[in-house]
Amino acid sequence: MRMIRIAAASLALFIVSGRALAQPDVTVQVDQTQLVNLDVPAATFAVGNTAIADVTVVDNDTIFVLGKSFGITNLIALDEAGREVANIQVTVNNQLGRTVVVMRGNAQASYSCAPVCNPIPSQGDAQATFDTLTGQVTVNSKTGTEAAALASNGQTN
């Protein structure tokens, strides 16, 4: 009985100290975002490897985790006193089942097939293919941003 009281007191102290009990791990696809609600509010966030995943902070207990590249990293959240309130394993998977990889000799090209196949830049692709696709994505994004800015100012072209 004494052991149960000690365990209960320890648990209560742990909860009162502001530390999270067990935050579930996160799995996200490459180029996708996963909403994460923290059990305990946090003031500071750190990602172990920002080449694999990154976070966008909505408020002190809500974040978005972005899968940037396949792999495993972690996310640590600290409260205002600098105490760890969450240590979450983040696993980023490639979109298997939708991605087709074509090998031409030793040159790789990746395609997203859902249901029509379109080229996508992916780790391991031939450098020329990757650079061409990322350049097109950058131009397309810039054009969209500029069009939105013009539209918000009441201009059309």
Could you tell me which CATH number the domain at 2-93 has?
Answer: 2.60.40.1080
Structure tokens at 99: 């991605």
Domain boundaries, the chain: 2-93, 99-152
Q: CA 92 → CA 15, 71, 95, 113, distances in Å?
A: 30, 5, 9, 19
Mean pLDDT, residues 53-60 taken together? 94
Give the 3-state secondary structure of residue 128: helix
Provide mean pLDDT across the span 114-128. 84
pLDDT at 97: 67
Q: Report d(CA 113, CA 5) in Å as an integer.
A: 58
Read off the pLDDT of residues 15-51 as tens digits, 9 standing for 90 and up: 444 444 468 899 998 888 999 999 999 999 999 999 8
Residue 43: the pLDDT is 96
pLDDT grade, residue 157 (50/70/90)?
low
68-114 pLDDT, tens digit each: 888 899 999 999 999 999 999 999 987 666 788 899 999 999 888 87
